[in-house]
């Protein structure tokens, strides 16, 4: 059964008038009995549904119909053409049970649709549908109704050949759903439109198969064109690793919610997806894999090499973890090829934009830890050992980095098997 949320739509049917009970005929005249038993209470008529309940039933009916349409094959020509310019699965805040502020996962789409039906449309709209399918054919769906920025009405008809912008954010799934591994994830746009004389369009007009992990971090493929010259950011302090150039084409590496990790002319880093126009967003995920990595990087000042990576359920003594955290340990090798000291504390792990952090305090006391005296790597010195970080349940390590004066050394460590290991 589909789980549906966030619907607004058709008017409910008129309420039926209440049934009127016929009066019982008067009994034949007779002498009154000496005593009378108390009359049995009249059976109360069943409560009629309220207008709100009828409206909710109509909305659920509309949502179910749109989800059903979204599952249909894409027609060769539905008469409405969609061009999606951006797509992301994002963690968003929402009001949960009892009005509590919670986090959920929504699909966000934006782009342009064009009326090619040869008709002037006067009712209906375009909806976005995010559907998940699990083992045993268990399915869940969330919708965003009326995605068009200019609604289709008799007063604002949508004429043939005209284009309209759309922007959709579906109602969220609970964040807990990120711990599950759907067999299939489907994102779709559905057109449900009519003209004044009975012509209708009810069809899916666009579809993609996004990665459910993209709400956290997932590899992607393809290219995008820059239309906003934002900085590329890396590390726990969001250091600039370069800047995008308006109009340049960048290579896409990873998606993490509303951000993309890209290879640009000036370097590699995270940038808001809204700064880019992605080419063929529906093809971002299929066959995508982490970029090849030698697990080593260098610049004129130093070199970083990652030898091993492991996750421990219990923190090695004397470290302590918060509830829900695990210990991520990385065996690194740091080499200083400059004539000045470099700092070990500039080593970090990147779990996604805004989620990079330095090693746990006290990690140097762990057996086999990186022995970095006074936080220094002296000129010509090479150090090797384990560094420990706290890792949240839903955090996926993407990059290990080391900041030097002449730039940031980055080693890709994303492991698809590790990323999926904690999912149900």
Residue 64 class from Cβ within 10 Å (0-12 exposed, 13-18 middle, 19+ buried)? middle
pLDDT at 21: 38
**Total residue length of the chain:** 424
pLDDT at 58: 64
pLDDT at 10: 40
Boundaries of every domain in the chain: 54-210, 218-283, 296-421
Residue 387 class from Cβ within 10 Å (0-12 exposed, 13-18 middle, 19+ buried)? buried
**Cβ proximity of 8 and 63 under 8 Å:** no
- Is the fold of 218-283 the same as that of 296-421? no
pLDDT at 40: 52
Residue whose C-alpha is closest to residue 306's, from 376, 410, 415, 390? 410
Contacts 24+ apart (CB under 8 A), 270-274: 270/232, 270/233, 270/234, 270/352, 270/353, 271/230, 271/231, 271/232, 271/233, 271/244, 272/230, 273/86, 273/88, 274/86, 274/228
Domain 296-421, CATH number (from 3.40.50.2000, 1.10.3210.10, 3.40.50.10470, 2.60.40.1240): 2.60.40.1240
Which are the contacts of 67, defined by CB distance < 8 A and separation ≥ 6? 2, 4, 129, 131, 141, 143
pLDDT at 394: 86
Positions in the chain short of pLDDT 50: 1-38
> Where does 50-174 have alpha helices with state H?
51-70
- pLDDT tens column, 361-376: 888 888 899 999 999 9
Is it true that domain 218-283 has CATH number 3.30.499.10? no
3-state secondary structure at position 332: strand
**Cβ proximity of 174 and 159 under 8 Å:** no
pLDDT at 43: 54
pLDDT at 62: 83
pLDDT at 354: 79
CA pair distance 415, 393, nearest whole angstrom: 15
Tokens linked to 243: 């800047």
Residue whose C-alpha is closest to residue 331's, from 390, 403, 293, 387? 387
pLDDT at 18: 40
- Report phi then psi at 103, rounded to 5: -110, 140
Q: What is the pTM of this model?
A: 0.81
- pLDDT tens column, 2-11: 444 444 334 3
3-state secondary structure at position 99: helix
pLDDT at 17: 40
């Amino acid at each position: 059964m589909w789980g549906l949320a966030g619907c607004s739509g058709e008017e409910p049917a008129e309420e039926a008038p209440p049934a009127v009970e016929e009066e019982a005929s008067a009994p034949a005249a007779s002498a009154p009995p000496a005593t009378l038993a108390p009359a049995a209470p009249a059976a109360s008529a069943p409560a009629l549904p309220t207008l709100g309940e009828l409206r909710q039933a109509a909305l659920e009916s509309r949502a179910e119909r749109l989800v059903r349409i979204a599952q249909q094959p894409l027609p060769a020509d539905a008469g409405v053409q969609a061009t999606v310019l951006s797509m992301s699965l994002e963690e968003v805040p929402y009001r949960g049970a009892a009005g509590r502020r919670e986090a959920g996962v929504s699909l966000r789409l934006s782009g342009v649709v064009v009326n090619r039906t040869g008709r002037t449309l006067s009712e209906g709209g375009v909806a976005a549908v995010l559907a998940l399918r699990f083992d045993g054919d268990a399915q869940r769906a969330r919708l965003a109704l009326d995605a068009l920025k200019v609604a289709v009405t008799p007063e604002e008809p949508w004429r043939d050949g005209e284009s309209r912008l759309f922007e959709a954010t579906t109602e969220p799934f609970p964040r807990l759903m990120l711990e599950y591994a759907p067999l299939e994830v489907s994102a779709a746009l559905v057109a449900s439109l009519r003209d004044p004389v009975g012509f209708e369009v009810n069809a899916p007009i666009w579809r993609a198969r996004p990665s459910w992990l993209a709400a956290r971090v997932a590899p992607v493929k393809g290219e995008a064109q820059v239309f906003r010259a934002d900085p590329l950011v890396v590390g726990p302090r969001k250091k600039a690793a370069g800047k995008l150039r308006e109009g340049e084409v960048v290579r896409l590496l990873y998606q993490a919610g509303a951000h993309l990790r890209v290879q640009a002319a000036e370097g590699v880093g995270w940038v808001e997806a809204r700064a880019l126009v992605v080419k063929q967003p529906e093809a971002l995920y299929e066959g995508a894999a982490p970029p090849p990595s030698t697990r080593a990087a260098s610049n004129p000042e130093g070199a970083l090499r990652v030898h091993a990576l492991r996750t421990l359920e219990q923190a090695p003594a004397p470290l302590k973890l918060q509830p829900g955290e695990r210990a991520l340990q990385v065996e690194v090798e740091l080499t200083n090829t400059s004539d000045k000291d470099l700092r070990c504390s500039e080593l970090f792990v990147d779990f996604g934009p805004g989620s990079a952090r330095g090693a746990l305090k006290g990690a140097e006391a762990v057996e086999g830890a990186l022995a970095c005296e006074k936080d220094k790597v002296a000129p010509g010195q090479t150090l090797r050992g384990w560094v420990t970080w706290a890792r949240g349940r839903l955090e996926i390590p993407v990059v290990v980095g080391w900041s030097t004066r002449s730039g940031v050394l980055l080693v890709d460590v994303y492991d698809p098997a590790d990323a999926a290991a904690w999912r149900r």
